[in-house]
Structure formats: structure tokens, C-alpha cells
A and B are shown apart, each in its own frame.
Chain A
Amino acid sequence: KAGVTQTPRYLIKTRGQQVTLSCSPISGHRSVSWYQQTPGQGLQFLFEYFSETQRNKGNFPGRFSGRQFSNSRSEMNVSTLELGDSALYLCASSLRAGASNEQFFGPGTRLTVL
């Protein structure tokens, strides 16, 4: 069974631009969660989607948004990029919603904002 895939793997943007990251969950998984990982803050929860609905949202500004499609694929968008948005963005999928279910992580997208 193929694992969680994330595209692109690396991305370089400049301040003020916007970016879209993509995540394809494991086949059959309907829940997708997004995390931001930085050396200073560690892993922080961004959002969780299940059946195209946002179930939970972390403490991030409105510049961070996401969505999930009917095939469970998910995208997250960051608008008006800031230097502090440079991070590894991880996507995780699980069969059902809720962190009690084992989450399978993707390799991440490394975003660098210049």
C-alpha cells in the first residue's frame, strides 16, 4: 500500500507570495491532518479534515487555510508569506477522524521563504 505523498518536496518562495501544498493520503484513509515543524516550536497542529470538512484548526493566523477534496486529497494554502513561515509542513492521514486513530505521516514539504 502506497504511503502518504506530499508535493512538492521542496519549495522556495519570497515574502508576500502565496503557496499551495498538496497531500495525498493512503488509499482508504479519509482523515488528513497538517502540521508545521520548526526548530524553535517543534511540531504544531494546523488543521484536520475529514470527509471534506474541517474538523479542527490550530492556533495559526487566517493566512493559513486548507481544504479536502472528495477523493480525500488535501491542500493547504499560505498567503502573504512571511519569513517565519519557513518550515517543514507535514501531512498525516488516518482511517477516521480524531488523533486516537494512528496517523501515518508523509515525508513533508520543506518551504523556505526568502
Chain B
Amino acid sequence: AQRVTQPEKLLSVFKGAPVELKCNYSYSGSPELFWYVQYSRQRLQLLLRHISRESIKGFTADLNKGETSFHLKKPFAQEEDSAMYYCALKGNTPLVFGKGTRLSVIA
């Protein structure tokens, strides 16, 4: 079975502090991992995917197959990063989403 776990419902950090949003997955094959973000009053949108290996808005995420993790990181949080973040997995079925972590960046 495919499963995505985001252990934190809410994460509060101060502006300028590092951010790490945790995502762990369960899948026996080679997964594709994604991070989606939903800003206040906006639509859910793709932030980044592991196959692109790129940095978007200062965020990066590395797939760690040994630890089955795909944590989202940013060295210096900005107020505009406050949003709901969802980790998603594509294995042999369509996207499976985690329940999301709300990031609150405090000025």
C-alpha cells in the first residue's frame, strides 16, 4: 500500500529561521514524490517534484530512499511562505497525498 505521512499538522517558525517540513512515505517500488502548496485563498499548486531536483522559491527537497523521506527545506523562512504544504506520492496508482502541514512564519 502507498502511504504518505506528514507528522506535523502545524509548524511555526520565525522569519529568517530555517524550515523543514517532514514527509515520510511507504512504497515498495520507485516512487515519484511531489510537494504541493496552497497559499491563503489560492488554489493548490505544484511546488516541486523530486525528479526535477530544482529549487523553487528557495525550497528544496531530497528524496532519501533509505529513510523513505522527502523532507522540504528552506534555509531562511519568509512571511510569504506561510501556507498549507502537502507531500504527495505517485507509485503504481495515482497521487496519494499526505494530510498536510500548515506552516506559519512569524514576523
Show the binding face of A for B, using Cβ within 8 Å: 3-4, 33, 35, 42-45, 48, 56, 58, 90, 92, 98-100, 102-107
Contact = CB atoms under 8 A, between A and B. Distances in A.
Nearest to B38: A105
Contacts, number: 44
A103 B32 CA distance: 14
Contacts of B88: 99
A3 B86 CA distance: 21
A33 B93 CA distance: 13
B90 A99 contact: yes
A6 to B, nearest CB: 10
Contacts of B56: none
Interface of B: 32, 43-46, 49, 51, 86, 88, 90, 93-100
Contacts of B94: 33, 45, 48, 56, 58, 99
Contacts of A56: 93-94
Contact of B86 (A43, A58, A98): A43
A99 B32 contact: yes
Contacts of B96: 45
A58 B94 CA distance: 8
B44 A105 contact: yes
Contacts of B86: 42-43
Q: Is the interface of A mostly helix, strand, loop or mixed?
A: strand
Contacts of A44: 97
Contacts of A107: 43
Contacts of B99: 42
14 contacts: A42-B97, A42-B100, A44-B97, A48-B94, A90-B44, A99-B88, A99-B95, A100-B32, A100-B51, A102-B49, A103-B46, A104-B43, A104-B45, A105-B45
A15 to B, nearest CB: 27
